[in-house]
Amino acid sequence: MPHSTPLISTIVAGLVLAFLLAAVAQRLRLSPLVGYLVAGVLLGPGVPGFFTADQAIANELAEIGVILLMFGVGLHFSLKDLLAVRAIALPGAVVQIAVATLLGMGLAAWLGWSIGGGLVFGLALSVASTVVLLRAMQQRRLVETERGRIAVGWLIVEDLAMVLTLVLLPAVAPILKDGGAGGTDIVSLLTPLAITLGKVVAFVAVMLIVGRRIIPWMLHAVAHTGSRELFRLSVLAIALGVAFAAASLFGVSFALGAFFAGMVMSESELSQRAANETLPLRDAFSVLFFVSVGMLFDPAIVVRDFWPVLVTVLIIVFGKSVAAFAIVRLFGYPTPTALMISVSLAQIGEFSFILAGLGVALGLMPERGRDLVLAGAILSIMLNPLLFALLDRWAAADAAKQAAKEAAKEAAHAPAGAAPEPQAAPAEVETPAATAAHEPVPMTALTDHIVLIGHGRVGSFITATAPVGGPPFLIVEDEPQKAAALRAEGRDVITGNAADPAVLAATNITAARCVLVAIPDAFEGGQVVQQARALSPALRIVARAHSEAEIEHLMKHGATAVVMGEHEIAKAMLAHIPGPAGQSPADTPSAA
């Protein structure tokens, strides 16, 4: 049996090279998507090398990637989140899509393309990458803030618009190609569109009427078997099976079928478990999707079509951003919110690739257009972290300016000769942008205090059950809303990520009695423990873990003690075992 086949070679080469280049991209503070795309470029025919992956096999693997990618989009689709910000997200996304599409059509007209090609090209430039946007939001702890909810709602509207475009484009392709001319009557042109819409309506009706009952029922039935392996298989079977059935029975795209499968599954209370169980496979095939897209890219276009590439990037980075900024400001939101939403949308990604590939396959857009879309995507994704860094610097400078104004105003109203009141340290570090920019954070004046990292379920229970009159707590919380609520209760709080050296140093850790790391993420907790241990070698540091591996990880990084929830539950259950002859648990040695 041969040890090297095109399928195995393509998967192995794609995943290994994607991992290596994504690690480099992460090190350079770029999105891993850049590494995946560059891996595809190096494996493609456009770059000579010792190995060229099989394009046909890569495309089929990419199709599975598209199905799982769209399934994930549907699984995380939240109608509640969309409705909460619909007043700005709906009109804002529609206007921004229209502006970007018109700009793209203008460039296409300059290049001599047809109206249909220009429309596909413009739409491909109008939609931001879900992966890039959400990752940028999560890194800055902005997902749960008002600006984060607006950006995510905006993104949902863009995604829905692109799903509709993918469904309708094959039906309207003949109209766009001919421009309605050529002696063809309007009825014969509109008939395929009506049939397609009818099939889509039928599929949606089946999913909403039948699927909403059967899919959650299936998940619950499998979950009750207690088999994790069977549950994981059932989720994948539903995602792939519904996508295939949608294409085979209703003639709609795999993408739409997978999206609705995820959306219906999201209504089940097991949806979070389904998302977690399928995440590794979804990630793996998503990587192969981006690699296959990179294989289609011709790097020579950057030199050959320098000016069109430059204009494409400008449309994505500045054209879309200016439109989004104007819309958000028009709705009365402050400048920082408008800038954050503008920067988060200043890139394109997965939907752009899918749409560009479909446009080329339908003969609407030349391959040159797909190369321009890919070049614009790679460059805009690489530029996005730089734009966020500039925004963070501006936000920090603006916050410092506002603080200086407030201080000057208070000094002007203070009685003559009175000493200025010292400012509480937490009040000056409320913006994630300041933390991201590593601005100096004023140190707390507390000593012999307990530094509590995180105020979630564990952290809040600690403060609620701590004895009255004990050492003071200094809480480090990265969610501004939680921090503000704690501060309103009169607690000492620093807003920021404790993994940031500036935030951790502000806790006056060398004078603290101990540190309690109550955040659930052991890897982030390990960073906090390591930095705290470096600042104070003799400090007592207690962390939490969910597994033996996490205990080992935290102890290795310098934790004095690690508490694992499962261990403590086991000890408590043993303590409740009754002794011999009906002796109560409290009287047995195990309860001591």
List Cα–Cα distances, 349 to 139, 285, 353, in angstroms: 19, 16, 6
Q: Identify the pLDDT of residue 79.
A: 65
Lowest mean per-residue pLDDT among 6-15, 59-68, 338-347, 357-366: 59-68
Single pTM value for the model:
0.65
- pLDDT at residue 423 above 50? no
**pLDDT band at residue 275 using 50, 70 and 90 as cut-offs:** confident
Q: Name, in order, each residue with C-beta under 8 angstroms of 357's C-beta and a sequence gap of 6 or more.
A: 293, 296, 370
- pLDDT at residue 21 above 90? yes
Nearest to 296 by CA among 530, 53, 542, 470: 53
Q: Identify the pLDDT of residue 239.
A: 87
Specify the length of the chain in residues. 592
Which of the two residues, 411 and 281, has the higher pLDDT score? 281
Q: Identify the pLDDT of residue 122.
A: 95
Which single residue is written with the structure tokens 């936000």? 395
Edge-to-edge order in the sheet of strand 473-477: 492-495, 473-477, 450-453, 514-517, 540-545, 561-564
Nearest to 97 by CA among 144, 146, 194, 163: 163
Which of the two residues, 298 and 440, has the higher pLDDT score? 298
β-bridge pairing 540-545 and 561-564: parallel
Please state the φ and ψ torsions of residue 563, each to the nearest 5 degrees: -105, 125
Mean pLDDT of 499-514: 88
Mean pLDDT of 544-552: 88
Q: Identify the pLDDT of residue 104.
A: 95
DSSP 350-386: HHHHHHHHHHHHTTSS-HHHHHHHHHHHHHHHHHHHH
Mean pLDDT of 62-70: 78
**pLDDT band at residue 99 using 50, 70 and 90 as cut-offs:** very high
Percent of the chain whose pLDDT exceeds 70: 85
Which of the two residues, 254 and 365, has the higher pLDDT score? 365
Average pLDDT of every residue of the chain? 81
Q: Identify the pLDDT of residue 184.
A: 54
> Residue 12: enclosing H or E segment and its boundaries?
helix 6-27
d(CA 412, CA 519): 42
Taking each helix axis from N to C end, the angle separating 271-295 and 32-43, rounded to the nearest 10 degrees, works out to 40
- pLDDT at residue 100 above 90? yes
Which of the two residues, 82 and 181, has the higher pLDDT score? 82
Please state the φ and ψ torsions of residue 492, each to the nearest 5 degrees: -85, 120
Question: What single-letter DSSP state applies at residue 582?
Answer: G
d(CA 289, CA 296): 11
Q: Are 128 and 157 in contact (CB under 8 A)?
A: no
| 62-75 CB burial, b ≥16 within 10 A, e <16 | bbbbbbbbbbbbbb
Which of the two residues, 412 and 217, has the higher pLDDT score? 217
Q: Identify the pLDDT of residue 445.
A: 87
**pLDDT band at residue 521 using 50, 70 and 90 as cut-offs:** confident
Q: Which two tokens stand for residue 67?
A: 């199905």
Q: Is 477 helix (H, G, I), strand (E, B) or coil?
A: strand
Which single residue is written with the structure tokens 């930095």? 531
Give the per-residue SS3 of 480-491: HHHHHHHHHCCC
**pLDDT band at residue 435 using 50, 70 and 90 as cut-offs:** very low
- pLDDT at residue 227 above 90? no
Which of the two residues, 420 and 395, has the higher pLDDT score? 395
- pLDDT at residue 398 above 70? yes
d(CA 289, CA 59): 8
Lowest mean per-residue pLDDT among 19-23, 47-51, 60-64, 434-438: 434-438
Q: Identify the pLDDT of residue 584.
A: 58
Q: Are 482 and 420 in contact (CB under 8 A)?
A: no
Which single residue is written with the structure tokens 């690699």? 291
Q: Identify the pLDDT of residue 439.
A: 43
d(CA 346, CA 338): 12
Lowest mean per-residue pLDDT among 3-7, 172-176, 449-453: 3-7
Q: Name, in order, each residue with C-beta under 8 angstroms of 485's C-beta and a sequence gap of 6 or more.
A: none
Q: Identify the pLDDT of residue 203.
A: 85
- pLDDT at residue 31 above 90? no
Lowest mean per-residue pLDDT among 59-68, 101-110, 112-121, 172-181: 172-181
Mean pLDDT of 341-367: 89
- pLDDT at residue 270 above 90? no
Which of the two residues, 417 and 225, has the higher pLDDT score? 225
pLDDT in tens, 278-314: 878 888 888 888 888 788 777 888 888 999 999 999 9
Lowest mean per-residue pLDDT among 99-103, 118-122, 332-336: 332-336
d(CA 299, CA 255): 28
- pLDDT at residue 429 above 50? no
- pLDDT at residue 587 above 80? no
Q: Identify the pLDDT of residue 141.
A: 62
**pLDDT band at residue 430 using 50, 70 and 90 as cut-offs:** very low
**pLDDT band at residue 121 using 50, 70 and 90 as cut-offs:** very high
Residue 6's CB is within 10 A of a number of other CB atoms, namely: 12
d(CA 382, CA 173): 33
Q: Identify the pLDDT of residue 431.
A: 41
Mean pLDDT of 203-212: 84
